[in-house]
Amino acid sequence: MTLQHIVLFAFPDELSDDDWADMKRQVRSWPTEIGGIDRMRLGPSINSERTRGYQYLLYMELADLDALVTYQRHPVHQHFLKWVLERDCKPLAFDYYLDEETVVIP
């Protein structure tokens, strides 16, 4: 069953252009390096009034729970997580299944 994985990132300071480019490069490598990802989006918020300090959002759809676990344990993802935490980021993750109960508009 397809599931959605969403992560919000709150860095204490805005990322430098180099760090933002590095973050995008790392995430964009996942479909080929990790696999199992059906859809993925990454971007900064267009406003800061209601984000409670979260500046970036990662959106992913994966085939099932096994694909999520594989992604989370993969060394490429672990390297990215270390990169994020080294910048004192406070990530917030949320995972749920896409099914008849959660999909409002297909």
CATH, residue 84: 3.30.70.100
pLDDT of residue 48: 83
How many CB atoms neighbour CB 51 within 10 A? 15
Q: Quick check: is 58 in a domain?
A: yes
pLDDT confidence band for 106 (50 / 70 / 90): confident
Q: Quick check: is 61 in a domain?
A: yes
**pLDDT value at 17 more than 90:** yes
CB-CB contact of 44 with 27 (8 Å): no
Which tokens sit at 95?
Answer: 């995972």
Average pLDDT over the chain, rounded to an integer: 96
pLDDT confidence band for 30 (50 / 70 / 90): very high
Which tokens sit at 38?
Answer: 């059906």
pLDDT digits (tens, 9 = 90+) for 35-78: 999 999 999 999 888 889 999 999 999 999 999 999 999 999 99
Q: Quick check: is 29 in a domain?
A: yes
pLDDT of residue 1: 86
CB-CB contact of 56 with 23 (8 Å): yes
Q: Quick check: is 7 in a domain?
A: yes
Q: Quick check: is 105 in a domain?
A: no
Q: Quick check: is 72 in a domain?
A: yes
pLDDT > 70: what percent of the chain? 100
pLDDT of residue 36: 95
Report how many domains make up the chain. 1
In one letter, which amino acid is 27?
A: V
Q: Quick check: is 106 in a domain?
A: no
CB-CB contact of 60 with 39 (8 Å): yes
Domain with 93, as residue range(s), is 3-97
pLDDT of residue 49: 86
